[in-house]
Amino acid sequence: MKGNTLRNYSIIVHKMIIYNLRIIFANKFIWFLVGSVLFYVGLSIYYVFANDVSKMEDLYGIFLFSGVLLVFYPSVFGVQNDQDARTIEILFGIPNYRYKIWLVRILLIFIIAFLIMLVFTFLSSVLIVKFRIVSMTGQVMAPVIFLGVMAFMLSTIIRNGNGTAVVMIVFGLLFLVLSGTLSRSQWNVFLNPYSVPRDLNEVSWSIISFKNRIILITGTIVFLLAALYNLQKREKFM
């Protein structure tokens, strides 16, 4: 009896993953994927032939922008795509909707982004400069996941992909403008842990970077809970 239950559960999970993967890779996601790959390849070729190939902070910036491109479309347009396809009406009829569907989808988005970033960092470690691949990928994914979940949360409020995209671009520009002022602050979303200020020792910088990652993780959890709570308000999406 337990064997049949586990088998049925595994079949349901498998079908759910396949269904959500089809949704994630549908529509315009492929163009963002191509854009991310081209951006990475273009700058990587430059660094391969550049004289100074040891600047980890520059590579971090390449990985960060590539990662943001990967999660941007599915995070921003996911809710609208469900509305346009009228599948959101079916999804709201499933018990514990927020946990069974969207939580799985969000998780898959970041798993895909993480695996692609692993490929990028591996190639850069082989072709450009040696570094710890998993460590670099983890550092990059912290702000990528934060921004992705933030976009997802905003999409549940705005309920329009284009509107959410505009708001996220405005926030992104604001973060970039403030990144200079907050360059040494733990509150800097785009803080680069590999760019140690000359007049600051590595121990102090590692503490600031660690606090920054804690803030990003905390913000990610808050945004995710807020998004899942918003998705319970059926009347706003029907």
pLDDT grade, residue 87 (50/70/90)? low
Q: Exposure of 180 by Cβ count < 10 A (0-12 exposed, 13-18 middle, 19+ buried)?
A: exposed
pLDDT grade, residue 95 (50/70/90)? low
Least confident stretch, 8-12, 59-63, 95-99, 117-121: 95-99
**What kind and span of H or E run contains 107?**
helix 103-127
Nearest to 134, CA basis, from 118, 112, 110, 116: 118
pTM, two decimals, is 0.86
pLDDT tens profile 133-177? 999 999 999 999 999 999 999 998 888 888 998 999 998 888 888
CA distance 202 to 67: 26
HEC-encoded secondary structure of 3-52: HHHHHHHHHHHHHHHHHHHHHHCCCCHHHHHHHHHHHHHHHHHHHHHCCC
CA distance 159 to 96: 20
pLDDT grade, residue 92 (50/70/90)? low
Q: What's the domain count of the chain?
A: 1
pLDDT grade, residue 217 (50/70/90)? very high
DSSP letters, 179-211, are HHHTTT-TT-TT--TT---TTS-HHHHHHHHHH
Residues 6+ apart with CB under 8 A from 76: 151, 152, 154, 155, 161, 164, 165, 168
Q: What are the CA-CA distances from residue 152 to residues 3, 63, 75 (Å)?
A: 37, 21, 5
Question: Residue 125 has which token pair?
Answer: 């470690």
- Amino acid 40 reads Y
Is pLDDT of 70 > 70? yes
CA distance 180 to 176: 7
pLDDT tens profile 10-61? 776 667 677 667 767 767 778 888 889 898 988 888 877 766 555 777 889 8
Least confident stretch, 84-88, 109-113, 121-125, 190-194: 84-88
Q: What range does the domain containing 217 cover?
A: 2-236
